[in-house]
Amino acid sequence: MAFDIEEYQSRAGRVQDDDIDYEEFVRRPLSADALRSLRYMADIESHTVCYLRDLLVTPSHIDPAVTTFLTMWVFEEHWHGEVLAKVLERHGVATGAAHITAVRQRLGWRDRVAPIGQALLANIVGNDFVAVHMTWGAINEWSAHAGYARLAELEDHPALTTLLTRIMRQESRHAAFYASQARDRLAASGRARTLTRFALKRFWEPVGAGVAPRSETRHMLHFLLGDAQGRRTIDQIDDRIHRLPGLGGLSLVRRAAVGYGLS
We find the least distance from the C-beta atom of residue 125 to Fe ion, in angstroms, to be: 24
Is 183 near Fe ion (CB under 5 A)? no
Is 185 near Fe ion (CB under 5 A)? no
If DSSP codes are grouped into helix, strand and coil, which group holds residue 30? Answer: coil
User: 41 and 147 in contact (C-beta within 8 Å)?
Assistant: yes
Q: CA Rg, the chain, in Å? A: 18
End-to-end CA distance of the chain: 36
Q: Which residues of 18-40 are buried (b: 16+ CB within 10 A; e: fewer)?
A: eebeeebbeeeebeebbbbbbbb
Is 43 near Fe ion (CB under 5 A)? no
Among the candidate windows 87-95, 136-144, 198-206, 240-248, which touches Fe ion by CB under 5 A?
136-144
Alpha carbon dihedral 261, 35, 52, 214, in 10-degree steps, equals: -30
Q: How far, in Å, CA of 90 to CA of 94, rounded?
A: 10
Interacting residue with Fe ion among 77, 128, 155, 238 (CB under 5 A): 77
We find the least distance from the C-beta atom of residue 170 to Fe ion, in angstroms, to be: 6
- Residue 77 or 155: the one with the smaller Cβ distance to Fe ion is 77
Closest listed residue to residue 47, CA positions, set 81, 16, 84: 81
Is 171 near Fe ion (CB under 5 A)? yes
- Residue 134 or 195: the one with the smaller Cβ distance to Fe ion is 134
Is 80 near Fe ion (CB under 5 A)? yes
We find the least distance from the C-beta atom of residue 73 to Fe ion, in angstroms, to be: 7
Is 157 near Fe ion (CB under 5 A)? no
Is 174 near Fe ion (CB under 5 A)? yes
What residues make contact with Fe ion under the rule CB under 5 A? 45, 77, 80, 141, 171, 174
